[in-house]
Structure 1
Amino acid sequence: MTTADGSHAGSVPAAGGSHAGSAGGHAESAPATDRLVSVLGAGRRPPSPGALSNAAAFGWRALLKIKHAPEQLIDATLFPIMLTLTFTYLLGGAIAGSSGAYLQYLLPGIMTNSVLLITMYTGVALNTDLGKGVFDRFRTLSIWRPAPIVGYLLGDLVRYAVTAVVIMVVGLVLGFRPGGGIAGVAGGLALLLLFSFAFSWIWTMFGLLLGSAKSVMGISTMLLFPLTFLSNVYVAPETMPGWLQAVVGINPVTHLVSAVRAAVAGRWDGSEVTWVLVAAAVCVAVFGTATMRLYNRK
């Protein structure tokens, strides 16, 4: 009896203590719960971010990657400077009679060529992130579906602008004098960036289509070098054989270089600008559509 009574007597306060602790816990947690409900439920739900906001966020992400890996800017700065110096001083005298005279013709072309060459890294970076599974996480987010890809392109526009400005500054130091002044240079740069943004959709398509970053770089290089060398970047088409002039004449890079060269010189060429705008629209319509279809299927 004593043991039973002791056991029973001990169990009653324990039970009572448990109820008391539970009541105390509810009393303490109730205000916190009320505050949480008031914060989360009292106000109106914040609006979802728009397409531009989504794309800008991913563009900022692309820039942060450059911040953490600054060696990515080597191809956007040092390589174009090397190209400019090499062609100006090694080939300028043979092609135009003097380095100074050749620089006036070369600089808008080498600026265009250098920016177009680095557009392929958009596809390479996209393919790398796909291999890491990053886009699997992006697709679970409630965002505008093309935002991650458009963000890549917006972030790369900064690299394109850096490349173009670096080459222009080097050219000014070497003696290049743009006849169009600041307005002409700004107009030519805007036209170049617009076309490069549209042109980059080609490499995003390959970034989704091919299985490795090396494959993307190999295909991009194989396509870019004929486009840039079979153009008026380095020499005037009039010095080429007739059949080659016909090939150069249908090359979109030729029309882009002519439009940029005319803008920098202060004499806008309406037909060339129209050609560039139409080519940019076709790139976005064809390759942008193909990119998004591949993205939705993967």
Structure 2
Amino acid sequence: MSSAISVSSLYKTYSTGFEALKNINLDIRHGEIFALLGPNGAGKTTLISTICGIVNPTSGTILADGHDIIKEYKAARTKIGLVPQELTTDAFETVWNTVSFSRGLFGKPANPTHIEKILKELSLWDKKDAKLMTLSGGMKRRVMIAKALSHEPEILFLDEPTAGVDVELRRDMWNVVRALRASGVTIILTTHYIEEAQQMADRIGVISHGEIILVEEKDELMRSLGKKQLRLHLQGKRDGVPDSLAKYGLELSPDGCELIYTYDTQKERTGITALLKDLDKAEVRFNDIQTKESSLEEIFVSLVRERK
């Protein structure tokens, strides 16, 4: 089966000589949630805009469900829905009319039942006759998603879908995205909220300086690049770490009340067993143990920092 999106040897160079995208090769599977992460200026929006046919590539090939986005533009674009960062539509238009109009732009016949279904799923039904200018920022974001879904796309791009909305609305929108994926829609999102990617994505892609530096299953990424910390709350304050424990690279907290052991999640945990035995031999007593695992945000920051 072909990929939902297949990008091969993609470059985008502007007239100024700036290379926004450099040799992008990426395959996005049908039915997955793929999160594209990267710092400001990394090329996230340029990549999405190029795949969606808004920005012309300098070279390379992009297929949307097997359709070339340049040679078969109409067929490719019909497969794709795009939720941009900003709402660009008539502020004096109603919610119902703007979503219905978006469906018509793709040559789809009127389907009030489908439009009603979308608006209800996005909690916009009671606002269907409201003018866009009267809506809150969060409601406008929902309208953008409704517009993108109006022509029943199989692939949905979400460019910073929850930027500037409150936590409660953000979680509501996560539920909407999960429901879309469950219905068979492929979701590609960019986000500055790493928690969003950690909660929702099946796979993670990281872009930096216009290059894809990593594509990995989220769980495997957390396992292979994450670290864990073991924090031992000591029974008494210490001035230093015993020499017999030097091989573990233990850190003593500034107040002398905790010992901190950091280890790769890939390593065998027998090291912890050995540590506990050696702590006992060294007569280092503790009252409690806490563990902490690296977050996706910490892994992301580490990856981007290495590329600078």
For the criterion TM > 0.5, the same-fold answer is no
Give the TM-score normalised by structure 2. Answer: 0.20
Q: Highest Rg: 1 or 2?
A: 1
Q: Which has the higher helix share?
A: 1
The structure whose RCO (Cα within 8 Å, separation 6+) is larger is 1
User: What TM-score, normalized to structure 1?
Assistant: 0.21
